[in-house]
Chains A and B, each alone.
Chain A
Amino acid sequence: MKILVCISKSPDTTSKIAFTDNNTKFDENGVQYIVNPYDEWYALVRALEIKETLGGNVTIVTVGLAADEAIIRKALAIGADNAVRIDAEPSDAFYTAMQISNYAKSNEFDLILTGKETINYNGSQLAGMLAESLDLPFVSLATKLDINGTTLTLEREIVGGLQIEEVTLPAVVSCAKGMAEQRIPNMRGIMAARTKPLQIIAPVAIEPLTSYVTYSIPNSKTACKMIDPMNMDELVELLHNEAKVI
């Protein structure tokens, strides 16, 4: 089983979100980058579990510059076998997906896994774009994944419920909570990661379809109005007449 796991960097979940250059760029000052949690906890760990039962190989791929090698080593320390870095700034999901698609086309993976979205741009775009470009079936937001021969059985969230689906490999799956449990790399893994193969490949010429022009921060709330816990009629009255939500 040849599995490709797409990983992205994202700011640590506790990072302060701020912007520079006239609110056109994310302020990286003091920001710690991590492997995007959905990519790491669910996609990568499930890929490793599959490899541990069925044998095979887990490759990670990211589109990013040299500074992103820290997150690549982290993913290798958790247990991926080898890594590919496509040497470019991931300008939008389309650009990134086309780069990974170009790499994947010549490498015949049985299964491609991603996280359900990144925690910085929340687009949930890449996996579907990759699947369309590779003309593969795509199961989005899967919470459970089992393999029997070339048949994948998946559970995924649907609007207001859950669906169990079957699809034939090769396929692309985006992974959501429930798929696997987070793994902490051990010292052996961290040592081994230093010598695992990391291939750096040049990007292909692709024009991004979108760009972020500016950013803004939501207005902070005006002071919270405190209500006497004995007087819930007052709260209901305020919700009706002042906030107009009930």
Chain B
Amino acid sequence: MSILVYINSNGGIHKSALEVVTYGKKIGENVTVITSGSADTSTLSSLGKYGATKVLVDRSLQNDDAQQITRLIAAAAEKTSATTIVFSQDITAKAVAPRLSVRLNAGLISGAIDIPSSDGNVKVNVFSGKAFGSVHVHSSKQIISVLPNSIQPEITGSDCTVEEFDGNIGAASIKVIDTKKPEGEIPLPEAELVVSAGRGMKAPENWHLVEALANELGAATACSRPVADIGWRPHHEHVGQTGVAIRPNLYIAIGISGAIQHLAGVNGSKVIVVINTDAEAPFFKAADYGIVGDAFEVLPRLTEAVKKFHATSH
């Protein structure tokens, strides 16, 4: 089976790219990576370690124009006779994978959290994380868009060849006027550790306590909806049903009661720690570890404990 994996290599190779290359390797022997963007050849070549047989790169495409990326992947799919195309379920995939599905008449599985089972069906997140579904594809080709943090990158091989590829991408239909990217922040959907806080923090100026813990852990920060709505925190930090859905290894929730809509966005987390003054907060039912206590006292203590842990051999 020939597998084609699309990754966006603008600004380097993200962990999510290593995840999907590993995913491709787990379902087929012949894994071609198709990419656009600026990553240099030696960086792209290292994808061979994660299972890529070959990397095709089209350097004429610098922006995230969904129509151009669709044409690029379709051309690569034709060249490699790919029957399965793999994406990481990020914002680019949400724009491109549906277009490609129509263009190639290939069934699209969005939000995959595992590799296909022996009958070929793929497990996905549905009902905003409240349930799983098993999806069957009827067409001869399929597209699988994998949720970040579903597969651990695994090194199985060595560097592979990188070929320049002309995807015949045509003209852009979208003109990019400006791009705003906060520098140095970990994108929330990719973060393995997340420290999140809600109204229990009482005021935006208290967030330094949350940030101190996040910095000490190397975690991303997140927040609940009410906190984003009243402007204490930026909207891109809002996790939950109407915000970002995340599945980190560790989610620490501080002063968040745990409404069903919030849980929907985070219950894919492997381990949940809840810190709340109210012992009856519903979030404790979804937690692995709970602390009933005042965030203003517990947070500095926890930050200190993490600092001590890192200082002693870890």
Residues of chain A touching chain B, judged by Cβ–Cβ distance below 8 Å, are 11, 13-14, 17, 19, 37-38, 92-94, 97, 116, 119-129, 131-133, 137-141, 143, 153, 156-168, 177-178, 207-218, 221-222, 224-230, 232-233, 235-240, 243, 245-246
Contacts and interface: CB of A to CB of B under 8 A. Distances in A.
B291 A226 contact: yes
- Most chain B beta carbons < 10 A, residue from A94, A123, A168, A233: A123
Interface of B: 8, 14, 64, 66-67, 70, 90-92, 94-103, 105-111, 121, 125-128, 130-139, 173-182, 185, 187, 192-193, 217, 235-236, 241-243, 245, 249-250, 260-261, 267, 270-274, 284-294, 297-298, 301-302, 304-306, 308-309, 314
Given A119-B127, A239-B273, 13 more contacts: A116-B94, A128-B66, A128-B97, A132-B99, A140-B91, A141-B91, A141-B94, A159-B90, A162-B179, A164-B180, A167-B174, A210-B109, A221-B272
A164 B177 CA distance: 5
A159 B92 contact: yes
B271 A239 contact: yes
A227 B74 CA distance: 53
Contact of A140 (B70, B95, B245, B249): B95
Contact of A127 (B91, B98, B181, B242): B98
5 contacts: A119-B241, A120-B126, A156-B91, A158-B92, A221-B285
Contacts of B241: 13, 119
Contacts, number: 263
Contacts of A128: 66, 94-99, 101-102
A24 B96 CA distance: 29
A243 B250 contact: yes
- Most chain A beta carbons < 10 A, residue from B109, B243, B294, B309: B309
Contacts of A226: 289-292
Given A215-B133, A245-B193, A245-B249, A163 B98 contact: no
- Most chain A beta carbons < 10 A, residue from B174, B178, B298, B306: B174
A123 B138 contact: no
Given A166-B174, A239-B271, A94 B108 contact: yes
When A and B form their complex, which 7 residue pairs have the shortest distance between CB atoms, in order from nearest? A128-B98, A229-B293, A161-B181, A209-B107, A137-B173, A132-B99, A232-B305
Contacts of A207: 138
Contacts of B136: 210-213
A162 B99 contact: no
B175 A215 contact: no
B309 A235 contact: no
A213 B121 contact: yes
A222 B127 CA distance: 22
A233 B305 contact: yes
B291 A139 contact: no
Contacts of B127: 11, 17, 119-122
